Amino acid sequence: MAGTAAALHILVKHKEQAEEILLQLKKGGKFQTLAKKYSNCPSAKKGGDLGEFKRGQMVPAFDKVAFSGEILTPHLVKTKFGWHVIKVLYRT
């Protein structure tokens, strides 16, 4: 079982905006560019890069996707912070 993961994410307030970002990604949009443009998280400056983190470090819904979601596929997740578009880069 993986103990760490690395991910990019985009944090927005509304589900509709998160869904629109997913559509842009499916049409070939660059994750880092969209993160810099739309994300409400300080990681936006780094293209949404959260770096590597341990299991249990993120809120439960985020953690679940980070450690069990398909790698390199954008996922939509709701947490107490808002709506996340998460792209898991790798797990170790």
How far is 90 from 4, CA to CA, in rounded Å?
Answer: 9
Are the CB atoms for 29 and 35 separated by under 8 Å? no
* Terminal Cα-to-Cα distance of the chain (whole angstroms): 8
Residues, the chain: 92
Q: How confident is the model at residue 2 (pLDDT cuts 50, 70, 90)?
A: confident
The predicted-structure confidence for 5-51, as pLDDT tens digits, reads as follows: 999 999 999 999 999 999 999 999 999 999 999 999 999 999 999 99
pLDDT at 64 over 90: yes
Contact call for residues 39 and 9 (beta carbons, < 8 A)? yes
Segment 73-92 mean pLDDT: 97
Which residues touch 68 (CB under 8 Å, ≥6 apart)?
Answer: none
What is the gyration radius of the CA atoms in the chain, in angstroms? 12
| pLDDT above 90 (res 1) | no
**Confidence at residue 32, expressed as pLDDT on a 0 to 100 scale:** 97
